[in-house]
Structure 1
Amino acid sequence: MLNDRSRNEAFRDAVAAAVARGHRKVLDIGAGTGLLSLFALSAGADKVYSCEVSPTSSEMARAIFEENGFGAEARIINKLSTELVIPGDLDERVSLVITETFDSGLFGEHVLKSLAHAWDCLLEQQPQGAQPEVIPGKAEVFACLIESEWIRLGRRVSDHLVKDTLKLQECDLVSEESDEDPYTTERLSRIKHGYRCPSEPLNLISVNFNDRRDVQRLVDGVEWTEEVCCSQSGTLDAVCLWFRLEVGDTWLDTGPATETCWEQAIYPGPGVKVDAGDEVQLHMVCKGHLSISYATKQPSGLTQSPAQTIRLPSDTVRTLNGQLRSSAMLAKEILSSGLSQTCNVLDLSQVPVLGLMLVREAASRRLTWMPNQDSKAFVSAFVKAHKLGGSVSTATELDTLCKEEGGKYDVLIIDSFEFSGLLRHGVLEDVALLRKSCLTPTAIIVPCTIMVRAMLVESQTLEEQSRLVSNDRTLGYAVADSINVFEVRTQQDVNLSSLPHRQLTDVFTLFEINLSDVGLDLPVISAVRAVPVTQSGRASGFCYWFDAECQGGHVISSYSKEGTTSQAAVLLRDPHSVQPGTCLKVVGSCTDSTIDICLDSVKATEAEH
């Protein structure tokens, strides 16, 4: 948020104009770092109350006020605005409320409830000067039908994979639904595989935050329907929602075509085909937040319900879509190597697909897995469908498993990396413990080797996600030193295929980990690499991913065109320019499952010719 200079300028100008109109007493709801409060103080407001529920943010705001010369004027209240009392927290009612507590779905951070309470209890009712006012003044909400393969992959496991690969008939594997969280968020301009809009944008609803009746109406609840005509054929994967905010004389637009601090709200759809001319009925309910449901009016939107529907977390659905094909190929490779018909398999994956496939081919094999809520329903359905009840057992704790006598396993299957792109926490320690306690000497470990690939990139986007890049973004107010104490150097959920970046070096292998050699006396894994610079630019940091090598040279990568796993990045503490013809000394390490990458203190030496 703080890096969005356009947003900051709009609020600064709007607040300054409001103070100039006579608003001398101001309440900042959800103050965060206190930047909007600083705008009001700088404009000459007499009293500015900064309400922030987070103790950490409240203390940070206090430090920022001090650093900017407003320490004596700081009135920071560590409460929800709906808990404020007068007199006590505030000396009197205020004439101006400013807030920027808007999530991607506009209303998701309870802003309607906060503003309704402010109109009733905190804003002046009989003003002597300027009429009570809220900034932002208005909002308009828009929606559009979208087609997105990425969203679809997290919504439903494809029929082809369910029937042909898993061999589950009359079964649907779909994502869970939540009334509490009716939408997810995506930045559509960077979504993997891109997106299409089968319909034109629709203005769903408008709200005037300066009309207390309008605000209260949406708190009490309204519902309505809209008919959306498809302008082209496609798949109805979701409804995308965004909004425009009236901030003084500026309208801030959070739509898919804009680059702001907001993503778009995504309401997952049924994933059905629609044709040009088809009508989709959207049913909206706004009661504090906005929920959307669907109904198609054409036969092309109708599907036959399966005999069994299994609901799984969206990440699990996406994992199955991404891994089932490669798991089937790997199972075939392992089976062709002469795997014993009576071997014991230990599958510690989040979704034990490979272990289940190995046992399915020979029920005399035994599979042990560790149940989790994400995949329990799926495993139960698979075991029942293939009559594997006597072949599959569970273990609740790794320590207990290692202490059991006689439990020797011939195959160990693990997840080496997370869906987010990070190395799975504790994976090396787990392998070391299992090798010592309950694996046979010749046990197959899948994967057998983990290779960490990396490249140096220039990416303003990654820098902005990591820290406040400069006080210029906050219009000269000194904020960076305080907020950057919480700088996040390691970024997860990076989508390299759509991340705005420039590649400054070739891809290189940072280091590799042979899991067959991992022991209990785990050393710090480290490596130093000489990496030539291939393009000039600003070195922001290193993007990295994993290539997990399995039997027969089969590689499972966390960075592939078809894959559903994200990548990760490590940002440099001191970004700087690099030039071709130089060779960087790159230091990589892995400690407690955390990968760090940095440049040696000698940042660049002349490349050898």
Structure 2
Amino acid sequence: MDTAEQMNPEAYFDSYEDLKIHELMLSDKPRQAAYQSAIVGNRNLFAGKTVLDVGAGTGILSLFCAQAGARRVYAVEASNLARLARAVVAENKFDHVIEVSECRVEEFRLPDDERVDIIVSEWMGFFLLHEGMLDSVLYARDQFLKPSGLMFPNTATIYVAPCSVPSRFDQWESLSGVSMRCFGEALRGQCAAKPEVLTVAPEHLLHEGHVMTWLDLKEVTTEELNSIESKEVLVAQTEGKLQGFCIWFDCTFPTDETGGQTKTEVILSTNPSAPETHWKQTVILLPEQACEELEVRDPVAFSLTMVRNQETNRRYDLQLTLLDAEKEEHNLPCECQMTKCILMKAHLDKMQVDG
């Protein structure tokens, strides 16, 4: 299953001049709270430091940095929204700290080739990598961050889990006493052509979530982001109908270990069990003939690949393939109810007892 949306760089940046997009992001309370807690709650990390805000948008993250005591904040915004960001900065009386530059970060230059202490950015897209803004953040890291510098966020994890999607299947069996099965089939056919952004209820997950990839944002390279693949056999942890695969992500932030106000790690999560964000979850629907009822401990074998689209680096193709669990190698010990895994688990348990 593939998806690719065409967008040239100019159209990408122009799209972020739409204030409705920023209204959506600014109204995302978990997003705002995570960044505010990670930045303002770690004043010791920001006090007297220089900061680069990549893709500054309205300037909200730059303002958090200034509130946390940053000496200088370079806010880089490629769209015309930079002009509004300057007004927001002045409105909050931080124009002596925050300098807004209207350019791409690839065109930006720091005074006297200096390096910054911290890079902040809200670069995440749907299923983390959609829009490809991370490439620009990594460019900024390599060009402008001190070797001892910090990334906010500093790690990111992508998860995948089999799931039920009743909003696309079950509800059309009877709607207000009328069968809409034909409509449901047509809708699923349209939706199956590309992944959907949906809110998935936690009870519709059939597995807690498998780590597809973990990114250390201080070390990862753009080349490593060209293709990310996961080939797994997951074991159903709850019964239900397998109708799709749910993808979400978490991001973590550095924490001051020397007496800052934030002692616990700040995590921005788009997990179905976490408060809803504007990212929601990304769902790949299965064709109806591939859906099946799962019991607890049933195996689900699949491969999922995120491949950078060759025509536009800001888009990824998602490729999902269902595999035969009988033919795939299972993790050991495997808790599934296939005979080979039951026998292998019994053998491993016996070896452990025998010492």
TM normalised by structure 2 equals 0.66
Give the Cα separation in 1 of the matches to 2:303 and 2:210.
12
Q: Which residue of structure 2 lines up, in the alignment, with residue 414 of structure 1?
A: 121
Q: Which residue of structure 2 lines up, in the alignment, with residue 579 of structure 1?
A: 295
1:427 aligns to 2:133 (yes or no): yes
Please give the per-residue CA displacement for 1:239-276, whole angstroms capped at 9, x wherever unaligned: xxxxxxxxxxxxxxxxxxxxxxxxxxxxxxxxxxxxxx
Give the Cα separation in 1 of the matches to 2:232 and 2:266.
26
1:504 aligns to 2:206 (yes or no): yes
Give the Cα separation in 2 of the matches to 1:375 and 1:457.
41
1:555 aligns to 2:267 (yes or no): yes
User: Unpaired runs of 5+ in structure 2?
Assistant: 1-17, 172-179, 256-264, 309-314, 327-335, 346-355
Could you say what secondary structure the match of 1:359 adopts? helix
Contact 1:346 1:412 in 2 (8 A): yes
1:308-387 equivalent positions in 2, closer than 5 A: 313-321=19-27, 322=29, 323-337=31-45, 339=46, 341-362=48-69, 364-370=71-77, 372=79, 376-377=83-84, 380-387=87-94
Please give the per-residue CA displacement for 1:436-488, whole angstroms capped at 9, x wherever unaligned: 323222221111111112321122434699xxxxx97169xxx96xx958842
Alignment CA distance shift 1:427-1:590 (3 Å): farther
Residue 549 of structure 1, CA deviation:
0.9
Contact 1:590 1:596 in 2 (8 A): yes
Contact 2:138 2:222 in 1 (8 A): yes
Give the Cα separation in 1 of the matches to 2:109 and 2:170.
45
Give the Cα separation in 1 of the matches to 2:319 and 2:160.
9
1:473 aligns to 2:175 (yes or no): no
Could you say what secondary structure the match of 1:543 adopts? strand
Give the Cα separation in 2 of the matches to 1:358 and 1:474.
50
Residue 394 of structure 1, CA deviation:
0.9
Please give the per-residue CA displacement for 1:548-577, whole angstroms capped at 9, x wherever unaligned: 111122111224226444221122356231
Contact 2:47 2:69 in 1 (8 A): no
Q: Which residue of structure 2 lines up, in the alignment, with residue 529 of structure 1?
A: 232
Give the Cα separation in 2 of the matches to 1:383 and 1:545.
36
Aligned positions, number: 284
Looking at secondary structure, tell me which structure has more strand per residue: 1
Query: Percent of aligned positions with the same letter in both sequences?
Result: 12
Give the Cα separation in 1 of the matches to 2:183 and 2:233.
38
Contact 2:39 2:68 in 1 (8 A): no
Alignment CA distance shift 1:363-1:585 (3 Å): closer
The one-letter code sitting in structure 1 at the alignment partner of 2:299 is: C
1:163-174 equivalent positions in 2, closer than 5 A: none
1:447 aligns to 2:153 (yes or no): yes
Give the Cα separation in 1 of the matches to 2:194 and 2:43.
42
The one-letter code sitting in structure 2 at the alignment partner of 1:473 is: C
Alignment CA distance shift 1:349-1:546 (3 Å): farther
Give the Cα separation in 2 of the matches to 1:503 and 1:583.
14
Q: Which residue of structure 2 lines up, in the alignment, with residue 589 of structure 1?
A: 305
Contact 2:53 2:61 in 1 (8 A): no
User: Unpaired runs of 5+ in structure 1?
Assistant: 1-311, 466-470
Contact 1:588 1:595 in 2 (8 A): no
1:495 aligns to 2:199 (yes or no): yes
Please give the per-residue CA displacement for 1:149-171, whole angstroms capped at 9, x wherever unaligned: xxxxxxxxxxxxxxxxxxxxxxx
Residue 541 of structure 1, CA deviation:
1.0
1:569 aligns to 2:283 (yes or no): yes
Could you say what secondary structure the match of 1:415 adopts? coil
Give the Cα separation in 2 of the matches to 1:342 and 1:472.
60
Give the Cα separation in 2 of the matches to 1:319 and 1:571.
26
Q: Which residue of structure 2 lines up, in the alignment, with residue 598 of structure 1?
A: 320
Residue 330 of structure 1, CA deviation:
0.9
Alignment CA distance shift 1:410-1:515 (3 Å): same
Alignment CA distance shift 1:575-1:415 (3 Å): farther
TM normalised by structure 1 equals 0.41
Residue 586 of structure 1, CA deviation:
3.7
The one-letter code sitting in structure 1 at the alignment partner of 2:291 is: H
Give the Cα separation in 2 of the matches to 1:563 and 1:364.
31
Could you say what secondary structure the match of 1:423 adopts? coil
Residue 406 of structure 1, CA deviation:
0.9
Residue 371 of structure 1, CA deviation:
5.1
Larger Rg: 1
Alignment CA distance shift 1:454-1:350 (3 Å): farther
Q: Which has the higher contact order (CA 8 A, sep 6+)?
A: 2
Please give the per-residue CA displacement for 1:19-48, whole angstroms capped at 9, x wherever unaligned: xxxxxxxxxxxxxxxxxxxxxxxxxxxxxx
Contact 1:344 1:367 in 2 (8 A): yes
Give the Cα separation in 2 of the matches to 1:416 and 1:387.
23
1:126-137 equivalent positions in 2, closer than 5 A: none
Contact 1:541 1:571 in 2 (8 A): yes
Contact 1:458 1:540 in 2 (8 A): yes
